[in-house]
Amino acid sequence: MNGASSFRSFGLIFVLLPILVALSGCSADSTVESQETIATRETREAQDVTVQPEEDQTGVIRNPAMGWVLYADAFADFPQANAYWDSQDPYAGSASIFYIRLPWSQLEPTEGVYAWEYEQNFKDLIQGALDRGLKLAFRIYVDSEGSYQQATPGYVISAGAEGIVDANGRWNPYVDDSVFQEKFSSFLNAFASKYNDPAVVDFVDGNGLGRWGEGNQLKLLGDDVYGVLRWITGTYAANFTRVLLGVQYNKSSTGFGLDNMDAVALGEHGYVIRKDTLGLPYWFIEADKERIRSHFPGVPFYGENVYQYLQSRQRWADDYDTLYAALEAVLNDALSLHANTLDLRIPEDTEAWFSEAPDLVQEFIVRGGYRLIPAEITYPDRIGQGGALTIAHTWKNTGVGVLPNNKPQWNYKYKVAFALIDPATEQVVFSAVDGAAEPSDWIEGGQYSYTLKVFPDSVPAGSYKLGCAIIDSTMDNTPAINLAILNEKTNSGWYILGDILVK
């Protein structure tokens, strides 16, 4: 190497040496700072995190005791399962409940022989509803007026029950007859053994007497209407201890009377109110509506359109210029009465709602029933192992109806809960219920705030997800109510709110 080259090489080393030393020093300092940052992050005080979940403002929310209802309305004839579901399939995803209204004789043609065990078409119809995610509802009527067959089974007559033959030659029972009451009570006991299951059945009409099962034009041997009401409601209530019961809120002078229904069905047995005259301007007057509203929110309301066979019979044309105007009146009645449910009804009616008034269908989807939302949740981003976890949470209901958690058949089983969830397995490692938060109190327009303080002392150190849910306390605290929010959801139903560290 010549001198110039040696000098340039040595000079380069001389120039680079302090730079390398400086860089080395910077690197060492950066390492120290990074370690300090990590230490600070792990030891700093907890900071509050506030979450405001994004609302689902358009989607179908399927929940117990609410939503659009499809009907198998067996007054004209009992539908064939395959044809029925073929026609309802385009619309079934918008509904929550499948309501079956049929005569007692359809379910028990001979004593002890039940359709749910032996009649394939009935079983297929039921299974079709369950396969589509619909819950069941029932009305069983005993009076033959309007029915496609004698409503009370012949074996009841053979057993000695007294009754009357109508103009069509069909026998109808005196509903205060002791033999009739004994046989119908036995049937209800068998029926409830199959269907007193809230996982499958949403509600049962707990009356079924009189014309169309609505409790009017009662046929009696004597005059003890009040005694008949106490018998029928008490029998249903004794058998359906876990499923909601409804009563047709009929003001007819030939029925039970509204004061009696208030005292017995609503007061003693916790029935919900059902009404089938929505949209009828000259009969369903404002005073009737105000009486129903006076029970809200303690008693939910289930609505039913007064008009049926919308395309083939067009009875609505007597009262309205267009079908849309009739359906709009029905919807307005439902919303003003805080309706939890409303009927799409039989296939031709369902198709008419969707073809003539899809906007009205959508409006009840987003406003009917209850839509529960955790509007704001505040929690610490970390807690010490065994330390306190404090969660402030505010809820609202954007639907016109109410979650009827206060009914005796449910007995406040739905509860607000929070959970720490392992993000790798989605397993709940800790959960707690806030007993102060009562969903049946939440109505449209309100904000309901609570603070829960718990000590998850058995939770190992680590990073977790904080989840919330409304759980069913009778089903091992399983999440049971779909919330109207768009947050990520675990397979078991917990809505993810964010991250939390346990140290």
Assess whether 157 and 38 both reside in one domain: no
Q: Count CB-CB contacts under 10 A for residue 400.
A: 23
Residue 232: pLDDT over 60: yes
Confidence band (pLDDT; 50, 70, 90) for 354?
very high
| pLDDT beyond 70 at 28 | no
Residue 394's pLDDT is what?
Answer: 98
Task: Mark whether 383 and 347 lie in a shared domain.
Answer: no
User: Rg of the chain's alpha carbons, rounded to an integer?
Assistant: 31
Structural domain for 459, as ranges: 46-58+372-502
Residue 328 forms part of a structural domain: yes
Residues 448, 395 contacting (CB under 8 angstroms): yes
Please report, for the domain that includes residue 426, its CATH number. Answer: 2.60.40.770
Q: CA-to-CA distance for 196 and 205, rounded, in angstroms?
A: 13
Query: Are residues 316 and 214 located together in one domain of the fold?
Result: yes
Residue 147 has pLDDT above 90, yes or no: no
Structure tokens at 257: 């009377």
Is the pLDDT at 7 greater than 60, yes or no?
no
pLDDT for residue 452: 98
Residue 69 lies in a domain: no
Q: Is residue 172 part of a domain?
A: yes
462 found inside a domain: yes
User: What does the pLDDT read at residue 21?
Assistant: 34
Residue 249 DSSP class: -
Q: Are residues 394 and 459 in the same domain?
A: yes
One domain for residues 292 and 425: no
| Listed range (24-38, 291-305, 340-354, 472-486) with the worst mean pLDDT | 24-38
DSSP string, 14-65: HHHHHHHHHHHHHHHHHHHHHHHHHHHHHHSPP-EEEE-PPB--SS----TT
Q: Read off the pLDDT of each residue in 157-176 and give the average, rounded to a whole number.
A: 94
Q: Does 335 lie in the same domain as 209?
A: yes
3-state helix, strand, coil in the chain (%, to 5): 35, 25, 40
State residue 358's pLDDT score: 98
Q: How many domains does the chain have?
A: 3
- The pLDDT of residue 443 is 98
Check whether 243 has a pLDDT greater than 50.
yes
pLDDT tens-digit readout, 67-105: 999 999 867 778 999 999 999 999 999 999 999 999 999
Identify the CATH number of the domain in which residue 107 sits.
3.20.20.80
The CA distances from residue 376 to 349, 382, 390, 400, 451, in Å, are: 40, 18, 14, 21, 12
Helices and strands (H and E) in the chain: how many: 13, 20
Same domain assignment for residues 51 and 141: no
pLDDT of the residue at 33: 38
Return d(Cα 125, Cα 98) in angstroms, integer: 10
**Bond from prior residue into 297 cis (ω within 30 degrees of 0):** yes
Please check whether residues 316 and 457 belong to one and the same domain. no
Q: How confident is the model at residue 42 (pLDDT cuts 50, 70, 90)?
A: low
My answer on whether 331 and 417 are in the same domain is: no
What integer best gives the mean pLDDT of the chain? Answer: 91
Strand partners, 100: 72, 138
Q: Is residue 70 part of a domain?
A: no
The residue out of 317, 342, 367 marking a domain boundary is 367
- What integer pLDDT is reported at residue 3 of this predicted model? 40
What six digits make up the tokens of 497? 């709110």
Is residue 458 domain-shared with residue 321, that is, in the same domain?
no
Residue 491 lies in a domain: yes
Same structural domain for residues 326 and 389? no
Question: Whose CA is closest to 299, among 251, 337, 260?
Answer: 337
Q: Specify if 492 maps to a domain.
A: yes
Residue 22 has pLDDT above 70, yes or no: no
pLDDT band at 43 (very low <50, low <70, confident <90, very high): low
Establish if 72 belongs to a structural domain: no
Of 334, 367, 400, the position where a domain reaches its end is 367
Task: For 340, list phi and psi in degrees, rounded to 5.
Answer: -85, -35
* Pick from 451, 338, 335, 448: nearest CA to 391: 451
Q: Are residues 52 and 103 in the same domain?
A: no
